[in-house]
Amino acid sequence: MKRRMPLLKLETTAALSEDKRKDLLAALSHIVSATVGKPEKYVMVTVGHADMLMSGTDTDMAFVDIRSIGGLNLDVNGKLSRQICELLEESLGITPDRVYLNFTDIKAANWGWDGNTFG
């Protein structure tokens, strides 16, 4: 199995209760695992609050940064974009036009874990 080690980092202006944060973390982890094709034990998800402005307004919004060693491509990125936007709209009320997503394929030598790199 190829090393992918996906990371999803969500920054949002939406207020999150502790329960909502935990549910969101779990749902995002599952989406990444299922879509990128890597067991959840290799997936990391972070959710944080950020001060942001988009289109000149501060209506709730989100920025999603997804990084992986391989596994990202046009098809996968499209699926991730759709599923994450649907989840954010359903769970936080953030419409898809208020979500930016960034996808980055990382070289194995540039990803560290457990005192070493994957390269």
Residues with active-site annotation? 6
Q: What's the longest Cα–Cα distance across the chain?
A: 44
Residue 72 burial (CB count, 10 A):
20
- Residue 17, classified by CB atoms within 10 Å of its CB into exposed (0-12), middle (13-18) or buried (19+), is exposed
The pair of three-digit structure tokens given for residue 34, joined into one six-digit string:
């299922």
Rounded Cα–Cα distance for residues 21 and 24 (Å):
5
Between helix 74-92 and helix 18-36 the angle, nearest 10°, is: 160
